[in-house]
Chains A and B, each alone.
Chain A
Amino acid sequence: MFEENSQNYYEILDVRQDATQNEIRQAYFRVKAAYSKDSAALYSLFDEQETQLVLERVEQAYLVLSNAEKRKEYDKVHGFLKTDELPEERAAGGSSSADNTFSFAKTAERLQADAAHQAAQNVFGGGSTLEDDTFPPMSGQMSGPAGNAASSPASGGPAPVPSLSPAVSAQRESSVQQSNDSRMFENRLGIVRRVDIVKTRAPSPELEEMITKENEFRGSFLRRVREYRGITLDELADFTKISRAYLNCLEEEEFESLPAAVFVHGFVVQAAKALKLPHEKVASSYMDHYRKTFLK
């Protein structure tokens, strides 16, 4: 890799140093997609080992930059911070807690997702099958080259091509390739999502019973179920759009490395849904433990 040892975390994710949390998140997914196992962009340039190295550095970078406090610390150490405020804090008009920082970015993200959903509803009269999700779909974030000017990392001028609007992408339908994977479906927005990542495997009645009877759902239990279901951490990350690092922290119960409680709750719900666990029960129990051990 070109100058791998001298690249800072912003360079690894290919974002500007003043990128917002939303931009960092988008960049993270973008870079991960570029280095995923089936990425055509790697062909003839990077081998598996080099790709793995890149992915590890990307995870490292995201773990720090996605956490407001850790990012501030990192910026101070590397001489990036001119003031004590992060970009969102400056935009919000003054210093605020990490929670508020995330809420601001999250609200903007949510509004964007809601707007896209509403647009789809308007076009398709409720026929849209965007899943009810806490987090917006990745493909929607990566709409069109250069997306919108705010999310275009490290490129100089204005975006030349507008984002892929639902109406425009609907025209793709007829010529879009259909995946042979029966677990994929393509909704009318041209966004391909996996609906089911639980692989077929000989069922273990004992584990099924344990899931039904279990009342206290902890990180280790999530890991056991995930492994039983034959799902790797990467697959779960890819499906839920939650970073691999955060999922690992959920399973290891490294609460200090996770963002605000509202996000942790969302992560647990998404992970539980993906693992075919009763998500409300799991989230409630997990968050009880979280509050008892971490928030007090």
Chain B
Amino acid sequence: MLTSTDDLVTARDEGRKTVGQKTEGTPSRKVKQIWAIGGGKGGVGKSLISANLAIMAAQSGHKVVAVDLDLGCANLHTCLGVDIPSVTLSDFFSKRVTEIKDVLLPTGVRGLNLISGAQDSIGVANLKHTQKSKLLQKLHELDADYLVFDLGAGTAYNTLDFFLNADVGILVLLPEPTSIENTYRFIKSAYYRKLKVADSLFEIRPLIDMAMDQKNPLGIRSPADLLREASKFSPEIGTRLREEIHRFRPKLIINQTRTQSDVDIGFSIKSVCKKYFGIDMEYVGYLDYDSAVWQSVRRKRPVCLEFPNSKLASHFQRMTRHLLQENKQASAPIY
């Protein structure tokens, strides 16, 4: 079984750049922008947020495909109110269908289709590198304006690579220590994963590997230590490392806020991440704890469609508008 390092080397040698890097340069890509919703901890609301952001984007007049990449734990179809998907990603992996567009499912929302991860075969979570690369490539070729990736919990390489492959990476967390710690772990993992696949940092790849091991002999405990060691190696490498770090700019959504200090924690996390990782995060918004959520989940209906006049729906609308607006303004990918 290939190790992750072998996977990366293979990907690089074959000239494929779909692992940990974007493919906006490839001529076959049609999709304008990819949003990935991740976050480390399970149950924080990633599927819920993916579903409702996708709905809002479609209702703003765009062609959207929501993709359930929580392989082995698919929930997106339920959040979108698609009861039993007739075709799913497993059909694509097993080659029962040949084209990715053959697994597109209507959602009842005009402009929004779903690629479900349901009805999956056992072991689908352990996607091979080649399968992952092919999937990403095919997804990029879909005839859509926006793709919304609903990612799984945890920090498996597949999850990290889907997150890093997107143009916009959104982290969802609850204002609780367990969720915050898992988010930091996710950021750390994605951060080092991104640095490890960067071509410009090829020479210090062993150093980055070492940094990923907390108990390494060089005493590299934090990104600051890594930067110091890299700069010792060569100031130019230090500069390149800074540039790669600067490119990593995930966004933040706090879910289930109950108090003002829950809302404010987004600013604190942004500040702490800047000081610890050296990265600029954008605090996109927050969602109040709302009983409308569990009610709509029970009904297996999207919260924005069940309660379109709720405060929650208006928050989703605002966040979507902001993300769409940013895409219009930016000529280059955000990270």
A residues neighboring B (CB under 8 Å) = 1-4, 14, 30-31, 33-35, 39-46, 54, 139, 142-146, 154-158, 160-162, 164, 168-169, 171-172, 175-177, 190-192
- Cβ–Cβ contact B278 & A44, under 8 A: no
B residues neighboring A (CB under 8 Å) = 175-177, 180-181, 184-185, 222-224, 227, 254, 258-261, 263-269, 271-272, 274-278, 280, 282-286, 288-289, 311, 315, 318-319, 321-322, 325-326, 329
Contacts of B259 in A (CB 8 A): 172, 176-177, 190, 192
Least CB distance, B309 to chain A, in whole angstroms: 14
29 A-B pairs (CB sep. < 8 Å): A1-B275, A2-B223, A2-B224, A2-B274, A3-B227, A3-B278, A14-B274, A34-B272, A35-B272, A39-B265, A40-B177, A40-B265, A139-B260, A139-B261, A143-B260, A145-B263, A145-B283, A154-B280, A155-B283, A158-B325, A160-B318, A161-B285, A164-B260, A171-B311, A172-B258, A172-B288, A175-B288, A175-B289, A192-B260
Contacts of A168 in B (CB 8 A): 311
- Cβ–Cβ contact B260 & A191, under 8 A: yes
Contacts of A1 in B (CB 8 A): 224, 275-276
Q: How far is the CA of A172 from the CA of B286 in the complex (A)?
A: 14
Q: How far is the CA of A168 from the CA of B314 in the complex (A)?
A: 12
Q: How far is the CA of A42 from the CA of B181 in the complex (A)?
A: 9
Chain A's interface: helix, strand, loop or mixed, by majority?
A: loop
Least CB distance, B137 to chain A, in whole angstroms: 30
A161 with B319: in contact, given A142-B264, A145-B286 (CB under 8 Å)? yes
A30 with B267: in contact, given A14-B274, A145-B286, A157-B325 (CB under 8 Å)? yes
- Cβ–Cβ contact A157 & B322, under 8 A: yes
Q: Which residue of A157, A162, A169 is within 8 Å of B260 (Cβ)?
A: A169
Least CB distance, A158 to chain B, in whole angstroms: 7
Contacts of A156 in B (CB 8 A): 282, 326
- Cβ–Cβ contact A41 & B277, under 8 A: no
Least CB distance, B43 to chain A, in whole angstroms: 18
Contacts of A30 in B (CB 8 A): 264, 267-268, 271
Taking CB as reference atom, which chain A residue is nearest B225?
A2
- Cβ–Cβ contact B275 & A33, under 8 A: no
Q: How far is the CA of A3 from the CA of B315 in the complex (A)?
A: 36
